[in-house]
Structure 1
Amino acid sequence: MPKRTEGNSAARSCDLVLSDLHHRITGVSASIRAVLPKLDERYQLMFLARRSEGNVAARSLWKGFREMARPPVGRPFRIWHVRRNNEMLWGILARDVLRMPVKLVFTSAAIRRHSWYPRQLIARMDAVIATSDRAADCLENIAAVVPHGVDIERFELDGTASENNQAQPWNTYTLRLGIVGRVRPEKGTDLFVNALCATLPNHPDACAVIAGKVTSQYQGFARRLREKLAAAGVLERVFFLDEVSSDQMPLLYSQLDIVCAPARYEGFGLVPIEAMVSGTAIIASRTGAYEAMVDEAGTGFLVDLESSPQIAEAIERLLTSPDLLDRLKQAGRQKVRNQFSLDHEVAGITHVYETLWHQGAHKA
């Protein structure tokens, strides 16, 4: 791979373009931004987005198009890695209408058949990456299956919080459960709350943290969750946090013993592997790539969709079996190290890039 040179990569001819063309930070944004620093070390990278990420400066789409109109140095073409419909459309415009020297790589996490419009866009990509075997089954002409990964060093804390964080109210309890993600039905927040109502009354030494933004659309939904917890007599042991910033997530995970991910639908879903590498046990629904992450009773528990009773049963087992809880924590951490590290993801992605460039060089 080419060595990076000193200076600002955005000012030099780039060979790789990544984009996050969305008005807010989403799960897709998080997966893009996670790999940015490592890819920026390997390639002359340009990042098209509204917000910069760390030391990687963001550029506007207009400025990006002006750069992409010029041939890259030392490559037969640039690669633009896209992950959304609008990015695919802009990429097709750049390559096919404006005749820019660019090839398009698309990553798909969807575990159901795409609708007509995105299928037409995907069919015009130069390479397609699926994030799981289930996602690959919904696509054609897959170049590779590359699961998303997590930054092991960032999440693998030793569980020792600062004096200030030890003072958080949930840290006064012996056992701490949690759910991470926007508070809404799709994420299964209500299923988690139903399970808490069934289990927490029997375990006064346990509490729960619900960490996620409540948008205006779901204010009523969140209010009903609180009412349900109050009726069960456990509301004072359930702590609602607003959206937790990305840099604070490793610390929050490190303070939890069990994390539930009972989503009704998830494309891939980073929560289980982020939590596992942070040292928690996992209870996850059978959606997204969760079945590849969670080994039943080996690294956690898998539950059927919409099943609060199964979530409650898994919680009960873990709260009453400290040896099992410790074993799942250790096994989950090791599984992420072995299979879902950010380095594994970057290696898989760059293999697709290098294959495209190799093929282009031989055709030239």
Structure 2
Amino acid sequence: MPKRTGGNSAAGSCELVLSDLHHRITGVSASIRSVLPELDKRYHLLFLASRSEGNVVARSLWEGFRVMARPPARRPFRIWHVRRNNEMFWGILARDVLRMPVKLVFTSAAIRRHSWYPRQLIARMDSVIATSDRAADCLTDIAAVVPHGVDIERFELNGTAIENGQAHPWSSYTRRLGIIGRVRPEKGTDLFVDALCATLPNHPDACAVIAGKVTSQYQGFARQLREKLAAAGVLERVFFLDEVSSDQMPLLYSQLDIVCAPARYEGFGLVPIEAMVSGTAIIASRTGAYEAMVDEAESGFLVDLESSPQIAEAIERLLTSPELLNRLKQAGRQKVRDQFSLNNEVAGISRVYETLWDQGT
């Protein structure tokens, strides 16, 4: 069916609504925005957000309400795919109070029982998707388990692009480690730093990159990390980057040999599969969907929560065995191609939509 793209569908033709109603770029934002272009190819789509994504134009919540007040042209109702508490609230208001022709699909990544308020909201959804089996265990009446995926072509091709010969501070080092994500305890940045303090002194050819925003709340935490690295004599080999834009992430991943994801808690977590498809070896904690992503000693290493010694041991094994490092790189890339592609995610989500529409009113 021919359609207009870029979130500019006429009110009557709009059949699918996606939203990113948050003032910051978060992991949830990344997962929403990664599927936008492909869903925009399949459906007449309206995107509610404060910031556009590529060719998909963002509209305000109030613009969305004006569109959703009218019935869609080719469907019995619109589907609004929501992922946050505030989006569920607005969706329930639109459907139940304002009587708009809309049904609500919610995606949950949480691997612990939701608190009282979100449980009440989730109970009012028309369909619920879990991103992992662990997330599904925390819910009832799941329509499908659909893991998040990554745009394999974007990470593989963009990551190998030559950046006009531009050199980075870490370019002269033979082996490069990294951690991606906000610098804070929840992400395990301190566990990574402790492991660096234990391993980098033995490997003068290795360095590390810590890429992530430091909010005002965690300035003291980041300062303590630098003090630890200085005390171990490796601070000059650890490069702190501020938040890296999404379009630059493939290039950063491609310059790393090992990525650590030692989070203390993660709902799903895209970093391991983004890193793996970019050709890095991964060391991940046993949280989120990481255990489904990483086959122990085959496509990466899994470590217990709070265990910097296990992280250090895994780093040591990889830095001292180029053959093992290369094997994990190759196996990790294939694992993502087989199981965590963006195409698989979009297909799974679309099946949930089509089932709802097939059921009619």
TM exceeds 0.5? yes
Which residue number in structure 2 is paired with residue 131 of structure 1?
131
> 1 CA distance for matches of 2:171 and 2:296?
28
- Range that drifts further, 56-65 or 280-289: 56-65
Conserved? CA contact 1:147–1:340, under 8 Å = yes
| Shift, 1:4, TM fit | 1.9
| Shift, 1:159, TM fit | 3.9
Which residue number in structure 2 is paired with residue 281 of structure 1?
281
> 1 CA distance for matches of 2:117 and 2:304?
31
For 1:247-326, list aligned pairs within 5 A: 247-326=247-326
- Range that drifts further, 231-240 or 156-165: 156-165
Which residue number in structure 2 is paired with residue 30 of structure 1?
30
SS of corresponding position for 1:169: coil
SS of corresponding position for 2:359: helix
Residues 91-134 of structure 1: CA distance to partner in whole angstroms, max 9, x if unpaired?
Answer: 00111111110000000000000000000000010000000000
Conserved? CA contact 2:179–2:261, under 8 Å = yes
Amino acid in structure 1 at the alignment position of 2:307: S
Amino acid in structure 1 at the alignment position of 2:2: K
**TM-align CA RMSD:** 1.2
For 1:91-106, list aligned pairs within 5 A: 91-106=91-106
Q: CA 1:122 to 1:4, structure 2 compared with 1: closer, same or farther past 3 Å?
A: same
Amino acid in structure 2 at the alignment position of 1:4: K
Conserved? CA contact 1:10–1:57, under 8 Å = no
Identity of aligned residues (%): 86
> 2 CA distance for matches of 1:47 and 1:350?
16
SS of corresponding position for 1:172: coil
Amino acid in structure 2 at the alignment position of 1:20: D
| Shift, 1:3, TM fit | 3.5
Q: CA 1:6 to 1:237, structure 2 compared with 1: closer, same or farther past 3 Å?
A: closer
Which residue number in structure 2 is paired with residue 182 of structure 1?
182
> 2 CA distance for matches of 1:120 and 1:28?
20
Residues 160-179 of structure 1: CA distance to partner in whole angstroms, max 9, x if unpaired?
Answer: 532443x1111100000000
For 1:51-90, list aligned pairs within 5 A: 51-90=51-90
Residues 293-350 of structure 1: CA distance to partner in whole angstroms, max 9, x if unpaired?
Answer: 0000000000000000000000000000100000000000001011001000000000
Conserved? CA contact 1:3–1:43, under 8 Å = no
- Range that drifts further, 151-160 or 325-334: 151-160
Conserved? CA contact 2:11–2:72, under 8 Å = no
SS of corresponding position for 1:282: strand
Do structure 1's residue 4 and structure 2's residue 9 form an aligned pair? no
> 1 CA distance for matches of 2:148 and 2:21?
19
Amino acid in structure 1 at the alignment position of 2:10: A
| Shift, 1:10, TM fit | 3.4
> 1 CA distance for matches of 2:272 and 2:222?
23
| Shift, 1:8, TM fit | 6.5
> 2 CA distance for matches of 1:297 and 1:192?
19
> 2 CA distance for matches of 1:164 and 1:10?
42
> 1 CA distance for matches of 2:232 and 2:26?
33
> 2 CA distance for matches of 1:113 and 1:10?
38
Amino acid in structure 2 at the alignment position of 1:81: H
| Shift, 1:28, TM fit | 0.4
Amino acid in structure 2 at the alignment position of 1:9: N
SS of corresponding position for 2:121: helix
| Shift, 1:6, TM fit | 7.3
Which residue number in structure 1 is paired with residue 155 of structure 2?
155
Runs of 4+ in 1 over 6 A off after TM superposition: none
SS of corresponding position for 1:171: coil
Aligned length: 359
SS of corresponding position for 1:197: helix
Conserved? CA contact 2:7–2:45, under 8 Å = no
After TM superposition, the score normalised by the length of structure 1 is 0.97
> 1 CA distance for matches of 2:322 and 2:48?
47
Amino acid in structure 2 at the alignment position of 1:331: A
Do structure 1's residue 352 and structure 2's residue 349 form an aligned pair? no
Which residue number in structure 1 is paired with residue 337 of structure 2?
337
Conserved? CA contact 1:81–1:104, under 8 Å = yes
Which residue number in structure 2 is paired with residue 193 of structure 1?
193
> 2 CA distance for matches of 1:209 and 1:346?
32
Which residue number in structure 1 is paired with residue 120 of structure 2?
120
> 2 CA distance for matches of 1:253 and 1:359?
43
After TM superposition, the score normalised by the length of structure 2 is 0.97
Instruction: Name structure 1 gaps, 5 residues minimum.
Output: none
Instruction: Name structure 2 gaps, 5 residues minimum.
Output: none
Q: CA 1:200 to 1:63, structure 2 compared with 1: closer, same or farther past 3 Å?
A: same
Conserved? CA contact 2:5–2:40, under 8 Å = no
Which residue number in structure 1 is paired with residue 39 of structure 2?
39
Amino acid in structure 2 at the alignment position of 1:73: A
